[in-house]
């Protein structure tokens, strides 16, 4: 199996190509050495992400992307085998706002968020400057190799 993209409710507007997003996600996983790994992308709205962020991170706010790894990684990017990576949950509402702010389409923003979420699934983080630099480099490499947009979320956010 591979990546499955699932809308949560009516969160996906017309014009979003779920098949293309799943194909892009599979290419990203392959770039990171996870070809054929099972994982999912759930596309929700701001209230859905607000609920998850509050429930699992104790942060009472919506966010653009959350990652729920199947395996805990203690020391950054995991290079071991994990057949099930976990779930990436994206707010389509926030993605649409961010796409408009940065002058590109919603599909491109979803791809950026998928790469960011996938990197989190595999153990990257951006809590320290060194970690952020490593994550930025990984995102840029994956976006380029998988044919995604030329901008990365962490670099753009300056995190």
Return d(Cα 46, Cα 98) in angstroms, integer.
Answer: 13
CB under 8 Å to 123, separation ≥6 — which residues? 69, 73, 75, 76, 77, 78
* Contact status, residue 121 vs residue 69, Cβ threshold 8 Å: yes
Q: Is 3-157 assigned to CATH 3.40.309.10?
A: no
SS (H, E, C) 16-43: CCHHHHHHHHHHHHHHCCCCCCEEEEEE
For residues 115-130, average pLDDT: 93
Tens digits of residue pLDDT in 12-68: 788 899 999 999 999 999 999 998 889 999 999 999 999 999 999 999 998 999 999
At residue 74, does pLDDT exceed 80? Answer: no
CA atoms within 13 A on the CB side of 93: 13
Burial 108-137, CB ≥16 within 10 A → b, else e: bbbbbbbbbbbbbbbbbbbeeeeebebbbe
Tens digits of residue pLDDT in 130-159: 999 999 889 989 998 998 876 644 445 443
| Domain segments of the chain as ranges | 3-157
Terminal alpha carbon distance of the chain: 33
* Contact status, residue 5 vs residue 43, Cβ threshold 8 Å: yes
| Closest of 146, 79, 149 to residue 109, by C-alpha | 149
C-alpha torsion 85→4→131→94, nearest 10: -140
Q: Model's pTM, two decimal places?
A: 0.86
pLDDT in the model for residue 71: 74
């Amino acid at each position: 199996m591979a990546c499955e993209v699932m809308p949560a409710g009516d969160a996906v507007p017309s014009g979003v190509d779920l098949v293309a997003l799943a194909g892009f996600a599979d290419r990203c996983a392959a770039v990171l050495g996870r070809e054929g790994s099972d994982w999912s992308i759930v596309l929700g709205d701001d209230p859905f992400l607000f609920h998850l962020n509050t429930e699992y991170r104790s942060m009472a706010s919506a966010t653009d992307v959350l990652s729920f790894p199947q395996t805990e990684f203690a020391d950054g990017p995991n290079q071991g085998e994990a057949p099930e990576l976990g779930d990436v949950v994206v707010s389509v509402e926030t993605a649409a706002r961010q796409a408009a702010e940065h002058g590109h389409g919603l599909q491109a923003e979803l791809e950026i968020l998928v790469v960011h979420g996938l990197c989190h699934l595999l153990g990257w983080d951006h809590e320290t400057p060194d970690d952020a630099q490593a994550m930025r480099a990984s995102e840029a490499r994956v976006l380029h190799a998988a044919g995604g947009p030329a901008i990365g979320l962490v670099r753009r956010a300056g995190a």
